Amino acid sequence: MPAPKVRTKWRPTLALIVYAVLLAVMALPIVIVIWFRAVEVSSSRMAPAEIGALAVVFMLTLGVAYVLTRTITGPIDALIARTEEIARGGKGAIRPLESYGTREIAVLSQSFLDLAGKLVDRTEYISSFAAHVSHELKSPLTAIRGSAELLRDDDAERPMTKAQRLHFLDNIVADAVRLDALLQRLRELAQAETLVAEGKSSVMDILPSLRGDFPALDISGRGDTEISVALTQEAAGIVFANLAENALQHGATLLELSVSASDRTAVILVRDDGSGISEVNRHRIFQPFFSTRREQGGTGMGLGIVRAMLSSHGGTIRPLQTTGDGAEFEITVPVQVSKG
């Protein structure tokens, strides 16, 4: 959808308005002097005091004009020029102005720089993400195409054995399953990064579905599991299902969700008894498509989806250091305050 355009019509510049107002202010004493001289016709020449007063008014008007130009029109023009520079030059052009003039313009400029930085980061993220998606989809597609071509070009004189055919068919099915998992993760990621309506859920609400979806895990809840947090039921299901699947892929048999809450924030500790997270990989686990368990079906998108989903609901997630086996994540999410 293209950005809406401002309707083109003549509009006065801020500088024109400022100087017009100042000239009007300056004209007032001149009009007053002319008025009194028209009433008092005894003298045709202006008195020195009158000339001095007009000179003072003129100098004061120029001073006010300089101050307004320095503090308002100049910084605004500079901000407009900076927007055009950022549009042409990207992230390198995002830098503070030399002068802001007023507090309001400084706040406006900071908001603009923050927004520009987020937009540029988002553009770079989308570019990198598209490259990763292309790579991840290309591998199974290439394997499916190769297996299909081998089956199609099977030599009638030296046909494949049944075991060979089943091997290629199994490869096609496995790669199709992997593609389906990738597409499902992409749908979840798109949903996670979309603003959602307000909703609420609790750990107690999602425990039954988790246990049904992951029967190989012994899933338990502790603490304030009935506290309502600012996650929709669907969002909570996606968050904890991805964490459960991640634990299962790392050999876990236990998953524990411990909840503690204050007036505004709930902290949920998610622990498992799997192989844990190595120090080498700790800083990479939220990177898109990073996975150490591809042979177990890992797509490398689960934790990224969890972080994006929590972020869209005002929450956070971070891995904690563990003394023994397993991984532990700390989730913070706002408590859903009842209205009424």
Q: Can you spell out the DSSP letters for 143-194? A: HHHHHHHHHHT--SSSPPPHHHHHHHHHHHHHHHHHHHHHHHHHHHHHHHTS
Range scoring the smallest mean pLDDT among 79-83, 232-236, 279-283:
279-283
Rounded average pLDDT over 149-176: 84
Mean pLDDT, to the nearest integer, of 256-284?
A: 85
Decide if pLDDT at 99 tops 80: no
What pLDDT shows up at residue 266?
A: 92
Token duo for residue 215: 């029967």
Residue 164 pLDDT > 90, yes or no?
no
- The mean-pLDDT minimum among 202-211, 229-238, 274-283 falls in 274-283
Q: Tell me the pTM.
A: 0.53
How far apart, in whole angstroms, are the C-alpha atoms of residue 28 and residue 327? 77
Report the Cα–Cα distance between both ends of the chain, in Å, rounded.
39
With 90 as the cut, is the pLDDT of residue 132 above it? no
Q: Which pLDDT score is estimated for 46?
A: 62
Highest mean pLDDT among 37-41, 127-131, 212-216, 323-327: 212-216
Q: How far is CA 143 from CA 135, 154, 164, 292, in A?
A: 13, 17, 15, 21
Q: What are the boundaries of each domain within the chain? A: 14-101, 125-192, 203-334
pLDDT tier at 85, thresholds 50, 70, 90:
confident
Which residues are paired to 268 by β-bridges? Answer: 259, 331
For residue 269, pLDDT over 90 is answered with yes
Mean pLDDT of the chain: 77
User: Which residues make beta-bridge pairs with 255?
Assistant: 219, 272
The CATH superfamily label for domain 203-334 reads Histidine kinase-like ATPase, C-terminal domain (3.30.565.10)
Asked whether residue 75 carries a pLDDT value surpassing 60, the answer given is yes
Confidence of residue 258 (pLDDT cuts 50, 70, 90): very high
pLDDT average, residue stretch 319-333: 83
pLDDT digits over 138-151, tens only?
A: 778 888 888 888 88
Residue of higher predicted confidence among 268 and 113: 268
* 181 Cβ neighbours under 8 A, 6+ residues apart: 297, 299
Confidence of residue 45 (pLDDT cuts 50, 70, 90): low
Q: What is the mean predicted confidence (pLDDT) over 233-252? A: 86
Q: What is the CATH number of domain 125-192?
A: 1.10.287
Angle value at C-alpha 182, between 177 and 184, nearest 5 degrees: 95
**CB–CB of 144/102 below 8 Å?**
no
Q: What is the mean pLDDT of residues 93-104?
A: 75
Residue 13 clears pLDDT 90, i.e. is over it: no
